[in-house]
Structure 1
């Protein structure tokens, strides 16, 4: 088994374990090495929003794919853990983008459906998984549905029905897990997790809103990620420290040399 295939298998096993997989998303080499050195961290995931922001681009495939992949490749090279990449919506060709990500050493990834017609979304999922098979790995696709974040004023029962319809279609196509950003309510998480089956649901941890990860594990969630919020935590600490110094104070006591 190649190193890449072994990393992919490790990442898949982490998703199917009864213990919830928690991924604090990273955006550059120093954030990746800092998170990787944290006790208990077994894998890394990149955040496309955060990588784009690092280079001054707004979220949503505005950062050039070459630049995005270059940063991801640098992250992969800097750590010994499996790395999952946020592929966004696939940059117009989900299969080709996945192949390039795998060439960079990535063994898993998110793929947004953007509420496209379901047959198109399923075809994109299949293309990514096919790219993994061509490379000889079990690519760990975290198939994302935007049914909640794009719901608007649609009745909640209809929204959850669409989440389940799309999620089951992605699972049937071979995706091991389905990511539902915006899903934070306890009972809604319980309902969707039950509809997908054990260790099939991924959610995002939203500051001040989401349930604790240990409770999400009890509800049957497979994976919890943090998206752009870890970068926002870091930037909040940076701005607070800058304000303290500019305001006549000092940098925070207990600051660690992590770089």
Structure 2
């Protein structure tokens, strides 16, 4: 199995190419092995997917650092691929808490992770820029010398604050504070994505699979994107398949859904020790 430094170098190199790569988001060890079997080069955790699997909401209030890191450790242990983590708000407003989160994330084998500027408070959803920058700076200082790629997230567009200029200011400040990758989920169109990518000096991550318009990997790469994630959308797609199958059985009393299910032999091959998922 590659060591942590080797995984970090692989993840870092993926961001330095001229094309975009997809880093999908498993929510447990099994989904991680399945995605690895398809040839993806890196994975990222999803707080939303994990929350759904535990019957919880994807919220800062409902998810604790220990459980998120335990879930990440399971995913890290399931494949040889580099894994980055959704570390939400760093699990605390104070910069020193963000720094501790980065150190703990690295300790469980993660080679990357994101810190966002959302507060979890619907009445005041985004940290003031000065504190947001201090948090990223503390996280970057904690990551210095460790095999860890830090992503900084500007959350304006997820919290009904569609201010592109402020989002760019934040991403630029996060880059100056030491972030390695920049991420503004929920950008409304390709022009906004192009504007962000042209305005910053670090690789940009874009999330696909949210409600609204979608673009291809080729279109996003042409706009300047270097990394594409899917957030909790693969988990929601899996839940959608479960819902449709269960509704068919409940309402029609039929079982045609089984024709679309993965064959047991395929699942066994992916999940077997030393199988395709590694």
- Asked if TM exceeds 0.5, the reply is yes
Q: Where do 5+ consecutive residues of structure 2 fail to align?
A: 119-125, 272-278
Match of 1:228 among 211, 228, 232: 232
Deviations 1:191-223 (A, max 9, x none): 1111114x6221110356221121101111011
Measured after TM superposition, the shift of residue 133 of structure 1 is: 2.1
3-state SS of 2:258 partner: coil
Identify the match of residue 248 of structure 1 among 250, 253, 267.
Answer: 253
Q: CA 1:147/1:254 → structure 2, altered by over 3 Å: closer, same or farther?
A: closer
Matches within 5 A, 1:7-26: 7-26=7-26
Contact 1:42 1:81 survives alignment (8 Å): yes
Q: How many residues align?
A: 249
Q: Say whether residues 1:50 and 2:53 are aligned partners.
A: no
Question: Partner of 1:126 in structure 2?
Answer: 137
Q: Check whether the contact 2:24–2:42 (CA below 8 A) recurs between aligned residues.
A: no
- What are the Cα deviations for residues 68-127 of structure 1, in whole angstroms up to 9, with x where unaligned? 211111111111000001000001111111111111000101111112122211221122
Structure 1 position 255, deviation (Å)? 2.3
What is the Cα-based RMSD across aligned positions, in Å? 1.7
CA distance in 1, matches of 2:180, 2:70: 27
Deviations 1:106-157 (A, max 9, x none): 01011111121222112211222222225x32x21121001222244xxx5x
- Structure 1 length-normalised TM: 0.90
Q: What runs of 5+ residues in structure 1 fail to find an aligned partner? A: none
Q: What do the CA deviations read for 1:36-62 (whole angstroms, capped 9, x no partner)?
A: 1112x0000000122122222222232
Greater Cα offset, 199-208 or 209-218: 199-208
- Equivalent of residue 206 in structure 1, options 209, 214, 234: 209
Alpha-carbon distance between aligned partners in 1 of 2:166 and 2:134, rounded to the nearest angstrom: 18
Equivalents in 1 of 2:43, 2:183: separation in Å? Answer: 16
1:206 and 1:63 map into 2 onto residues whose CA distance is: 22
State the partner residue of 1:68.
68
Which residue of 90, 97, 101 corresponds with 2:101? 97
**Partner SS for 1:178:** strand
Q: Which stretch shows the higher mean deviation, 14-23 or 74-83? A: 14-23
Instruction: Calculate the TM-score normalised by the size of structure 2.
Output: 0.84
